[in-house]
Structure 1
Amino acid sequence: MFDDITDVPGIRVGHDTNLEAGTGCTVVLCDTPAVGGVDVRGGAPATRETDLLDPLCMVDEVHGVLLTGGSAFGLDAASGVVRYLDERGIGYDAGVARVPIVPAAAIFDLPFGSATIRPDSDSGYRACEQADTATGPIEQGTIGGGTGATVGKMLGPDFAMKGGLGSASQELLGGIVVGAIVLVNALGDIIDPQTQHVLAGTQNAAGKNPARSNPFGNTTIAVIATNATLTKAEASKVAQMAHDGMAHVIRPAHTMFDGDTIFTLALGDRTSAIQHDTATAAQTVSIIGAAAANTLARAIVKAVRQAHTLHNIPAASSLR
């Protein structure tokens, strides 16, 4: 196992990175249609197709998820993912066409690098192509959608440090695998859960004159994947519980200036699903949700530890 989300069978990940512009996107593709769920906690989300994941809505399959930079502009990259899947006949069978279902979320990275160059449809398409050829563990840190991510912006962007992209996985009893991938672009600081020390966060402002803080530049977004069989409601519950992982290592989390959003993809075989009683199903969902929170917390820590300095924004690795 690679200790990343591709340890979940049927999950592939691809990146498109623009280091000069300080932005990019990351796609999570499903080899078989997944049951999707979502939970949005932050007060400033930039998202696409989240309503479709509501258990009250009809469509119950997802073919990929896009995590992108570029704020709302970057959501255009999802159309490239849709185009890529459409060319391969992948999508929800609507009779006259197969419609790819690709929820997406974006981080605000416009102040970092270039505010006018953002991920577009071609970026999303290239990320899919990269997912098709990728082998081995996922590259993490300053890559894909995490390229322009920063953390620790309580005093404004001049005192921030590099965030990034991280991924982790965990295998449970019974062969269930839970994986997480995350773009860490938080207003708050990232805390080492073992030592409770700040790994990456607001730089020391002693002797400096911080400008008036501009907090509109945040959001941590993630995908949880599992090979378990879940309903849409159960998948959304796992996403809800996974937010505990953010709160465990990001302080503060879920502010009005963060668009914190978590998707869940469940790739278990629905045709051979064993019908459990309510208590057994609730126990399974709770175990997966708890594992998702722990795995996401580890992925967040990995994101900042593996990031590197870019555009004069220091990374935790440069301060060791």
Structure 2
Amino acid sequence: MAHPSSKLLSISGLRVGHAHDTRVKTGVTVLLPDAPALCAVDVRGGGPGTRETDTLALGGLVDRVHAITLAGGSVYGLAAADAVCAGLGARGVGYAAGPPPIPVSPIVPSAILFDNANGGDKAWGDTPPFHRLGREALSAACYETSEGAIGAGYGATAGIYAGGFGVASETVNGAVVWAFIAANPVGSPFLPGTRVPYAWLYERDGEFGGAHPPQDYRWTQPQDTKLTRFAGAGQNTVIGAVVTDAALSPSDLKRLAIMAQDGLALSVQPSHTPLDGDTIFALSVGEQAAIGPAALSNIGAAAARCVARALTRGVLAAQ
């Protein structure tokens, strides 16, 4: 049954699945294209945790993925992608290296965020929950998604506030761009001294509640980032993906991922710190006509705005 706040995805060819553990206070999100999707990635944070991102380097053998996995749990969360890989392989989804009984090889790049200090029960011994959560998220994949405390954003924090998973979209020149973001940044999503999102300028249809800065507002040093409470590395990170139905090349997608990262700076300060592991994937799942540099620039700018809005929506929904 759909969550009351779930959003139908107006982009064809992509499903989203979530799973979380209320006791451990963590979760997993799976992005599942209907067909192998061209993909690139950009990593900006100083403390990333990833799997198979080198596979996506330009000029390599593989340029399409079968799923993207986003997870909490820091390094333990990378195990979620193992479950997704195994589940897809059992379905026969993956690159075929030869005839049976040679198994197919699903390509499942992954990124994790650190939510291991959020007060959940992390005494999992040698059986962390992420393989189970990855399997559950894959099984739950469908053409709609909820926001807030769900999936990879379930145990997240944004500055000193609850973090969350958010979704936003925009159409530019006929191409649809979606952003799916699990927000767990060191920085704050709000202008210092207010509950006005940094991304207020990009709000659409009242999605942030219509908050605007006071007329005489002046920026002051923020007191609501994790830097005011936690000096240790690794307790942060924004991870996610931008997805478009424009038929982009691998090099186009790399530029799209780079431009999409600007959405973090539009919605969180500070961003891309040594204490974050900010990682954004970019996928093409459609067959819109190939585009040139000017059109790609517009799609990239839209992707940045979508990332800023998705991050903010996820945080607000989690409050």
TM-score if structure 2 supplies the norm length? 0.83
1:210-229 alignment to 2 at 5 Å? Answer: 213-229=231-247
Mark the CA change 1:211 to 1:188 in structure 2 (over 3 Å): closer, same or farther.
closer
75-84 or 112-121: bigger deviation: 112-121
Distance 1:203 1:248, change over 3 A: closer
Residue equivalent to 1:248? 266
Cα distance in 2 between the residues matched to 1:212 and 1:89: 45
Q: Does 1:146 align with 2:164?
A: no
Residue aligning to 2:61: 58
Mapped contact 2:89–2:103 kept (Cα < 8 A): no
Q: Tell me the C-alpha RMSD between the 2 structures.
A: 2.4
- The one-letter amino acid of 1:226's match is T
Q: In 2, are the aligned partners of 1:35 and 1:265 still within 8 Å (CA)?
A: yes
Match of residue 102, structure 1, among 108, 111, 121: 108
Q: Give 2:254's aligned amino acid.
A: S
Equivalent position SS for 2:296: helix
Q: Deviation of residue 214 (structure 1)?
A: 3.1
Residue 5 of structure 1: how far off its partner (Å): 8.4
Q: CA deviation digits over 1:63-89, x for unaligned, max 9?
A: 110000000111001011111111111
The residue matched to 1:128 in structure 2 has which SS?
helix
Matches within 5 A, 1:63-74: 63-74=66-77
Structure 1 letter corresponding to 2:237:
T
Q: 1:3 Cα shift?
A: 9.3
Question: Which residue number in structure 1 is paired with residue 285 of structure 2?
Answer: 267
Alignment-mate amino acid for residue 292 of structure 2: A
Partner of 1:182: helix, strand, or coil? strand
Distance 1:294 1:121, change over 3 A: same
Q: Encode CA deviations 1:16-46: one digit per residue, 9 max, x unaligned.
A: 1111211010000010110000000000000
Tell me, in whole angstroms, the C-alpha distance in 1 between the residues paired with 2:225 and 2:83.
41
Q: Residue type of the partner of 1:107?
A: L
Among candidates 108, 114, 117, match of residue 111 of structure 1: 117
Q: Please tell me whether the aligned partners of residues 70 and 119 of structure 1 are also in contact (alpha carbons under 8 angstroms).
A: no
SS in 2 for 1:7: coil
Give the one of 292, 297, 300 matched to 2:308. 297
Asked if structure 1 preserves the Cα contact closer than 8 Å seen for 2:7 and 2:146, the reply is no
Q: Which runs of 5+ in 2 are unaligned?
A: 191-196, 201-211
CA distance in 1, matches of 2:172, 2:229: 48
Residue 128 of structure 1 aligns to which amino acid in structure 2?
L
1:110-189 alignment, distance < 5 Å? 110-112=116-118, 113-117=120-124, 118-131=128-141, 134=142, 137-152=144-159, 160-174=160-174, 176-189=175-188
Q: 1:151 and 1:232 mapped to 2: Cα distance? A: 31
Contact 2:189 2:267 in 1 (8 A): yes
Residue 243 (structure 2) pairs with residue 232 (structure 1)? no
Which letter maps to 2:308?
A
8 Å CA contact 2:6, 2:145 repeated in 1: no
Separation of aligned partners in 1, 2:8 and 2:59 = 28
Matches of 1:204 and 1:90 in 2, distance apart?
42
SS of equivalent to 1:32 = coil
CA contact (8 A) 2:166 2:310 kept: yes
Partner of residue 288 from structure 1, selected from 299, 302, 306 = 299
Give unpaired runs (5+ residues) of structure 1: 153-159, 308-314, 316-320
The CA deviation at 1:204 is 10
Identity of aligned residues (%): 40
Q: Report the CA distance between 1:212 and its aligned residue.
A: 6.7
Q: 1:47 aligns with which of 31, 45, 50?
A: 50
**Which residue in the other structure is 1:312 paired with?**
none
* Structure 2 CA distance for aligned equivalents of residues 75 and 6 of structure 1: 26
Change (3 A) 1:5 1:294: farther
Moved more, 118-127 or 17-26: 118-127
Letter in 2 for 1:108: F
2:18·2:28 contact (CA, 8 Å) conserved in 1?
A: yes
Q: Which runs of 4+ in 1 moved over 4 A?
A: 2-5, 201-205
Query: 1: distance between equivalents of 2:67 and 2:248?
Result: 17
CA contact (8 A) 1:190 1:251 kept: yes
CA distance in 2, matches of 1:78, 1:57: 21
Pair 1:295–1:61, CA change in 2 (3 A): same
Contact 1:141/1:303 (<8 A) preserved: yes
The answer to whether the Cα contact below 8 Å between 1:5 and 1:180 also exists between their aligned partners in 2 is no
- Quick one: distance in 2 between partners of 1:186 and 1:106? 12
Name the CA shift for 1:166/1:202 in 2 (closer, same or farther; >3 Å): farther
Determine helix, strand or coil for the equivalent of 2:38.
Answer: strand
